[in-house]
Chains A and B, each alone.
Chain A
Amino acid sequence: MDIITFGLISASVILLSSVGFALIVQVEGFLNIAHGQMLLLGAYSGLFLSNLGLHIIPASIGAAIFCGLVGALFYGLLFRPVKAKGVLVLLFTSVGAAYVIYGVVGAIAGKRMLAFDLPLVRAMKLFGQPFMTIYELAIVIVAIAVALCLHLFLAYTPAGKSIRAVADNEDLARARGIDPLRTSYLVWFVASALGGLAGVFLGIMGSLHLSMGWQQIIIILATTVLGGIGSLYGVMLAAFVIAFGIEIGLIFVPASYRSGLAFLIIVVVLLVKPQGLQALWGGGRDRTH
């Protein structure tokens, strides 16, 4: 029962933090290491708003919007100008951006561990067993709702369709009258806002500390690889595989191996399926050796 509960909760947070990352991979074609720090930024700005006396719900929304704006700003200021210089430059620009966020948050907030000041609640019961608290349940529901909304958004709205078109083929999308620039800003806003929200949730579930961004980006990377780089639905599935894999694995190894376990899972998967989970539904490419 514990495994199901914890697995569900951590899958939700992993899902929420990874879909944004995957969205950027899909549209921009690089691994945005700074995404982990969006979680940090989200958590701390959420805490800041909540300490101002805001209720946790508007505080989370505010933090998410703030992160979204920072993400869009970063895109315009840092990433768009170097896009032509290749993946490696983009990747390490994002490493630089990650250090900037990390450093600035650290300078303002300090190294102490912090926590959201939420009223304590008792876990709800399911079949007579303690199941999860109202906060945890809300996190799970929000994460699943977000995944569903993202799917509907991408599949049915004009803005969502434009995102998919740009991801598939930017030139073709432009020829069809889609403005890739506006689409990119939209992607960065949505992705970073989701990252910020995931950060708040991560803070609610545990505590806030400066290394949470670095720790989570490692899990995000594992999820993205497992899902197959750039495959959004693969990532959604992978979030659950990783989360439950970790919870089950923790029966056998100490908790300090948490992210190591995530990586062990992907190493094993990559050995069997070098293209990640998406290889299960086609999309494998020719290899040269």
Chain B
Amino acid sequence: MEGLILFAVSISTLGAIYAMLCLSLNLESGNGPLWDLGIVSFFGIGAYTYTLLTADPALEQQSFLLGLGLPMWIGAIGAAAGGGIAAWLIGLPTLRLKREYFLIATLAFAEIIRQVFANENWLTNGVAGIYGLRQPFKSYFDAADYSYVLLALTLCGLAFTWYVTRRIIASPFGRACKALRENEPLAITAGIDPQKTSIRLFMISGALSGFAGMFYVWYNTLIIPGQFVADLTFFIWAALIIGGIGNQRGALVGGFIFIFLHDSLRFLQVSGEMAVAFTSLRTALIGLALILILRFRPEGIFAERPVRFDLPALKREARDA
């Protein structure tokens, strides 16, 4: 029983991290006009930035840059900044492109970045990765209880991401992004600059994804390039589509549902050859779920809702003021 609870806590933590990424993706691709197939780049860069800033210096057999052992809050800022700056650098050339080209170009950069993680040993310790990374507030709690603490911390991160994305979507800036999604030429005649707006949006999403990367490091206590493959991008997209693209709640729920679908089978202990077949079938199942959702409920579990204003209440307010 206890094992089951710990397992549930563990996949909930992972679900919360996925939900953060879904919210970030929803901000740029659901509410905004950017079809980003490279969200894993910023997630990975955030995670590596955090690790390099906060980890202890490299040991003899290892090699990676920095290892400054800085406090975690600096690492958090670094993770977000890393993601945002990466988005800026990638966005400069690619945001000029049409949608389909942008899609492929972002996928391209994600692949290049992953190969850099894997090949540049001096920077990241290569495919061997960096192990034994610290988790926050670990010393204050009993080791057995720590997974609850980590879940709580991750949920705080999720709440923060929720608040930020929600605020942005409701603001005039968010409205401008949505207008660009709907009808770019018309949005231009409203004085919206597609370039400037898109790059800003891309950077915010990049920063939020980078921030989520920090939690992934805490969750795994290790970092390897294999964690940041294009699969993850497709998973996040699948999660967002299942939950409901363009809807905050959809993004939130989608992240958890996806993880429950994908990882709950992990609890069943099977051995050897069976396990391989099992993992493969799990992937096929995810594919099937995605196909079925798109076929029968393409708007997802929570469809995008129109932004409505409570007109009588506003009238009253205006009268009172």
Chain A residue at minimum C-beta to C-beta distance from B231: A214
Given A96-B287, A103-B283, A88 contacting B35 (CB threshold 8 A):
yes
B101 cross-chain contacts in A, Cβ below 8 A: 225, 229, 270, 274, 276
Indicate whether A185 reaches chain B with its CB closer than 8 angstroms. Answer: no
Question: Which residue of A81, A108, A256, A270 is within 8 Å of B97 (Cβ)?
Answer: A270
Given contacts A99-B286, A103-B282, A107-B281, contact A263 B188 (CB under 8 A): no
A263 in contact with B111 (CB, 8 Å): yes
Residue of B111, B188, B238 near A95 (CB, 8 A) is B238
Interface members, chain B 83-112 (any A CB < 8 Å): 93-94, 96-98, 100-101, 103-105, 107-109, 111-112
A85 adjacent to B104 (CB under 8 Å): no
* A221 & B107 in contact (Cβ 8 Å cutoff): yes
* A142 in contact (CB, < 8 A): no
Cross-chain contact B276 with A106 (CB below 8 angstroms): yes
Residue pairs across A and B with Cβ atoms less than 8 A apart, 19 shown, are A92-B238, A92-B241, A95-B290, A96-B291, A102-B280, A103-B282, A103-B284, A106-B280, A106-B283, A218-B107, A218-B108, A222-B104, A225-B105, A260-B112, A260-B115, A263-B108, A267-B93, A267-B105, A289-B193
Chain B nearest CB from A251 CB (Å) reads 16
Contact partner, B108, options A101, A102, A267, Cβ 8 Å: A267
Contact of B112 among A95, A210, A264 (CB under 8 A): A264
Closest B residue to A263 by CB, please name it: B108
Q: Which of A78, A85, A257, A271 contacts B119 (CB 8 A)?
A: A257
- Which residue from B96, B116, B231, B298 sits with its C-beta under 8 Å from A85? B298
The complex places the Cα of A263 from the Cα of B41 at a distance, in Å, of 14
Q: Which chain A residues border B304 with CB–CB below 8 Å?
A: none
A104 contacts the other chain (CB 8 A): yes
Chain A residues within 8 Å of chain B by Cβ, number? 50
Given contacts A218-B107, A270-B105, contact A93 B294 (CB under 8 A): yes
Q: Which residues of B contact A107 (CB under 8 A)?
A: 276-277, 280-281, 284
Contact assessment for B283 and A102 in the assembled complex, using a CB-CB cutoff below 8 Å: yes
Instruction: Write the A119-154 contact mask toward B (1 if CB under 8 angstroms, else 0).
Output: 000000000000000000000000000000000000
Beyond contacts A92-B241, A102-B284: 12 other A-B pairs, Cβ-Cβ < 8 A, are A96-B289, A96-B294, A99-B286, A103-B280, A103-B282, A104-B284, A218-B108, A218-B230, A224-B104, A225-B104, A256-B115, A260-B112
Residues in A whose Cβ lies below 8 Å from that of B188: 288-289
Q: How far is the CA of A214 from the CA of B229 in the complex (A)?
A: 11
Establish whether residues A218 and B111, one from each chain, have CB atoms under 8 Å apart when the complex forms. yes
A218 to B185, CA, bound (A): 32
Contacts of B195 in A (CB 8 A): 289
Q: Are A93 and B291 in contact (CB under 8 A)?
A: yes
